[in-house]
Amino acid sequence: MAKVGVIGAGSWGCALSWLLCNNGHQVTMWSALEDEILMLRQTHEHKDKLPGVRLQDGIVFTAGLEEAVSGRDVLVLAVPSPFTRSTAARMAPFVGQGQRIVNVAKGIEESTLMTLSQIIEQEIPQAQVAVLSGPSHAEEVGKGIPTTIVVGTQEKDTAQYLQNLFMSSVFRVYTSSDVLGIELGAALKNVVALAAGMADGLGYGDNTKAALITRGIAEIARLGISMGGRIETFYGLTGIGDLIVTCASIHSRNRRAGILIGKGYTMEQAMAEVKMVVEGVYSARAGYALAQKYQVSMPIIEQVNKILFEGMSAADAVSELMLRDKKVENIDLRELYQNSVEIPW
């Protein structure tokens, strides 16, 4: 049995707390919101973020960050990506040397273009940082629906430890050392999911959705390989797998926000209607900035930025995508891929 601190009491934090407690671990869940902790103590259910999932009586709920962090074998950082840096900075004084932190949020920091694990390593240099990602909606994980996911870290022993910690009969965990590739796929698929939702809001069909998914993963892979990620990551669970589920699922907040924008809502109105953090909005500018930095063509990401931040209509953006210069479908990714990329384990 491990002692686990779950930092963040949103839908994903609740679902993973349920899973870890079900696996026999001792779970303490933290939220910065006193009212949220009081509600969870009283009802053992987050009626706003994860209704219908009752959290076990053994889970401890606290608003004290030191209580949730100190002495834990593993910390699961489950706050929305815009709050990763500030939360990590608050955690840092209580984190011991070599303490394991698993980040489960998805995003890229706009001001620095850093991935979330890079932010955590910067704020908490004494920690061992890993990421957990893949096609996994909290609404389904919390109900025990079979799910497959990837844990990424540079340390093989840590990867295997975390694999054993999370793995269950309904939650299959693979391991990978390509942390950068995992995080880029996880963050940028949310931007493509916004585009997929916009297409739904415009009344387009399956043909359009399939086009956005396949061309979206091509864009993400081009950028990821240019930055040093591995091609197999983008065509695995945390690439195409996560992209499919986020573009197609009724649970996807990014798709829901995109549907509203396609129907004429502004970005601000759509985010207010969804009532949860829409990660793709925060990753869109960072994704486009990375495309420019690495001189990679990412037309879908570019058009999403124009819709979100420049007032372009979703219908006009589709027209721009369809009427671009003629292209071949695939470039030779071997031209981008560095044969010298080292796989540490």
Q: Which of 3, 68, 59, 71 is nearest to 31 (CA)?
A: 68
Which of the residues 143, 189, 209, 275 is marked catalytic? 189
Element (H, E) at 193: helix 179-201
CA-CA distances (angstroms) from residue 286 to 105, 116, 197, 253, 268? 16, 12, 20, 19, 18
Confirm whether 49 is a catalytic residue.
no
Instruction: Provide the residue type at 149 as one letter.
Output: I
Edge-to-edge strand list for the sheet holding 26-30: 60-62, 26-30, 3-7, 74-77, 100-103, 128-133, 147-152, 171-176
Distance CA 63, CA 123 (A): 21
Task: State both tokens at 184.
Answer: 């880029």
Q: Which residues are catalytic?
A: 189
